[in-house]
Amino acid sequence: MAASDTSHATRLRTDKSGLPAPRAAASAAGAASAPAAMLLQQAREQELAGSLADAIGRYEAAIAGAEAAGEARVAAEAQRRLAVVRHRRGEREAATALCERSLEVATEAGDTVLAGEALNTLAGFDFESGAIELARARFYQALELGGSSPELRGRIEQNLGILANIQGNHDEALAHYQQSLYAFQRTGDDHGCAIAYHNLGMVSADRARWEDAEECFRRSLEITAAVGDVHLTGLGLLNRSEVHLARQRYGDAKSDAEAALRIFDRLGTRLDKADAYKVIGRVYRETGQLALAEARLTAAIELAVSTDSVLSEAEASRELALLYQVMGRNQEALRFLGAAHRLFGRLDARLDLVDVARRVQRLEDTYLAVVRDWGQSIESADSYTFGHCERVAGYALSVAQALGMDEAQQTTIRIGAYLHDLGKVRVPHEILNKAGPLSREEFEIIKQHPVWGVELLATVDFPWDIKPIIRWHHEKYDGTGYPDRLRGDEIPLAAQVICIVDVYDALTTTRSYRAAMTPKEAAAQMHESRRWWRPDVYDAFCRTVPAIAAAA
């Protein structure tokens, strides 16, 4: 499991010092300029100390004063900084409007560095809302306009590192972060160095280089303690807590994450709080405190929703699903996995990010793990069918491939295979395990299991079309199946695939009423019943499964 989420780093870019306020003051001519520049400086100090409400008031006063005095540069800088603070508090629209205004004012004043600053900040906002290509374009535009400032160049270099990182290019990210560190060291920007170390820590954690990661976070936290950036301290603590978590140091993980949470609480930064709750929830889950884990992960989701952060909501939903799996609450686990999948789908449609693809892959792996566990827990009630779901899934996959089904259809088939007999949990144990033939009444009960399976999943929405497989995996092409006596192509192809391999597995395993057949015997018997399946399904089956089973 990745130790850190890129979302922590992405928020850093909007948090940089731009043109230092004293320089803005010095450059603004005349005594009338002093108050606005001074207000800006005070606002910055309040912001760094974590008094955001005071800082907002002071920034607003600085903007009003600068506008009245015609001090474009002070106004542009105050607008941009206020935008950053508002954005951190989840006020996205106000933040964007302020920053766009800052860009206009700086451009009118002919200050390319301040215009570059505004673009850099706007790109950061784009990035967080998921508009990744727009963000990239703006970062390059910012570099073009403001690259004459080594200090700004260092930060853009860092932002490009963040982009490389989220796209899974860790080497490239590392190189960008190192460049940004050198730039900040050259300009003597301690705050910049603290951020660079922080991001180097994150990329090291992504590569599971835990010791490097810890050392980078230690240096970053050391510098932030000296320069007094409370927010960055919180982020450093939270990300270090994920390193502890990955190394199973649960006590350290909890104390770092809780210290981070106290900071974010004080700052009122809800999205960071969401991430802190998520880590604390994971610590509780890993240490078996399941009720506490549920409370924290639920809080993480609520906060992510309230700040409109799709990525955080998706990640927290996946973590909660894993908790429900541990608790045996499988329907809820699948519900939250479905929610996470839909959220990633929204991101994927906009971003086409490698990193999202990796997260979706991880999510689908989680899906398979949850349904496999659930399928196996059903088998444990029926000693004769142990391993049935796993074999059906394996056979079905090879038939699906022989039929030329695509990746999504193959995933549908695999998940359907694990869950196809879910409804058997409602069939009495003595009927499932009965030695000898079933009575008519008993068979009527067995025949309900496809319907019961779908009922058990009534509250679950799958990203794949699983339910037709469950309901119709006993339907036959000649209309002799159950529960709906469908005929021909009324039966979905995926259900036919499961049907044929299900029959094969039943024949080739020992049952309470007869011994297992060899693959050859089973294939001969199925040849007699080939009217039960669509001809291409039967052909695909013959070309793959008996040979695979015989070789196994």
φ, ψ (nearest 5 deg) of residue 491:
-85, 125
Q: How far is the CB of 443 from Fe ion (least distance, A)?
A: 13
Residues at the contact surface with Fe ion, assessed by CB under 5 A: 421, 502
Q: How far is the CB of 449 from Fe ion (least distance, A)?
A: 6
Q: How far is the CB of 399 from Fe ion (least distance, A)?
A: 15
Give 273 or 476: the residue with its C-beta nearer to Fe ion: 476
CA–CA distance from 68 to each of 22, 130, 361 (Å)?
Answer: 19, 36, 55
Give 355 or 421: the residue with its C-beta nearer to Fe ion: 421
CA–CA distance from 136 to each of 77, 155, 161, 166, 415 (Å)?
Answer: 22, 14, 11, 12, 37
Give 148 or 383: the residue with its C-beta nearer to Fe ion: 383
Q: Identify the helix (H) or strand (E) that includes residue 458.
A: none
Q: How far is the CB of 97 from Fe ion (least distance, A)?
A: 59
Residues with Cβ within 8 Å of 40's Cβ and at least 6 positions away in sequence, in order, are 21, 24, 25, 58, 59, 62, 66, 74, 77, 78, 81
Q: How far is the CB of 495 from Fe ion (least distance, A)?
A: 11
Beta bridge partners of 514: 511
Among 12, 37, 2, smallest CA distance to 206 is for: 2
Q: How far apart are CA 47 and CA 54, in angstroms?
A: 8
Residues with Cβ within 8 Å of 468's Cβ and at least 6 positions away in sequence, in order, are 492, 494, 495
Q: How far is the CB of 498 from Fe ion (least distance, A)?
A: 8
Give 197 or 395: the residue with its C-beta nearer to Fe ion: 395
Give 155 or 474: the residue with its C-beta nearer to Fe ion: 474
Give 305 or 506: the residue with its C-beta nearer to Fe ion: 506
Burial of 485 (0-12, 13-18, 19+ CB in 10 A): exposed
Give 355 or 502: the residue with its C-beta nearer to Fe ion: 502
Measured at the alpha carbon of residue 303, what is the angle toward residues 297 and 304, in degrees to the nearest 5?
Answer: 90
Q: How far apart are CA 538 and CA 501, in angstroms?
A: 10
Q: How far is the CB of 195 from Fe ion (least distance, A)?
A: 56
